[in-house]
Structure 1
Amino acid sequence: MGTLTIARQKKGWRDLLRAYCVEVNGEDVGKTRRGETFRVNLPAGSHSVCLKIDWCSSQTIEVDGDADTLLHCAPGGTALTALPDIMVFTDHYITLVRD
């Protein structure tokens, strides 16, 4: 069994007061707010991880449940780019990357 850790950066104004939903294999497993770190244990095997807010999301990252994984997330743009991001770039609204 491994641990998935998602560290949300404390950057920018966009989504300042909003939480990102953490989905593993399409199921909601928790939330992370600005500056917080979210942790969950994963069973062995491959898992898809994605963050969501309303109808927007991050890209999906595959992680191994047998290992500890650290991901970092942040808004995918600024408050000024929010309108085009929610209309066109909905699957990159949140940035999610491996450490």
Structure 2
Amino acid sequence: MIEIKRETRFVDKLRGYKVMIDEKEVGTIKSGETFDYPIKQGLHTLYLQIDWCRSNKIEFEIKDNEFLRFECGGLNGSKALASLWYITFKRNNYLWIKQIYS
């Protein structure tokens, strides 16, 4: 099982991010939500997408009955002021996702 928590930010607050696992859309996560998804053991890729922009890709391996946590979000602070730059030239870094180790 994986869990993804999305931070609450003003940018994209009303829009959902597509959750992409192994290049397939498996759901959507909205601002402030938590997305849980059962996943088979093995090696997988994970990223988020909104329109033609996306996050970094994460490759992870999950074992049987393992629970992995991730956090995600979009542009914030000074990066939000440069959103046109990101959607034009840095579209694969418009969103972000990272694994949380606990």
Q: Report the identity percentage.
A: 30
Listed as ranges, the gaps of 5+ residues in structure 2 are none
Please, which of 25, 32, 40 is the counterpart of residue 22 of structure 2?
25
Counterparts of residues 19-98 of structure 1 (less than 5 Å)? 19-66=16-63, 67-77=66-76, 78-98=79-99
The structure with the largest strand share of the pair is: 1
2:20 maps to a residue whose letter is E
CA distance, structure 2, for counterparts of residue 79 and residue 57 of structure 1: 15
User: TM-score, structure 1 length as denominator?
Assistant: 0.91
Q: What is the count of residue pairs matched by the alignment?
A: 96
Moved segments of 4+, more than 6 Å: none
User: Bigger shift: 53-62 or 70-79?
Assistant: 70-79
Residue 2 (structure 2) aligns with: 4
User: TM-score, structure 2 length as denominator?
Assistant: 0.88
Alpha-carbon distance, 1:32 to partner: 0.2
1:41-88 Cα distance to aligned partner (Å, 9 max, x none): 110101000100001000111122313111100113444221101001
Alpha-carbon distance, 1:95 to partner: 1.2
Listed as ranges, the gaps of 5+ residues in structure 1 are none
User: Bigger shift: 24-33 or 74-83?
Assistant: 74-83
1:73 maps to a residue whose letter is C
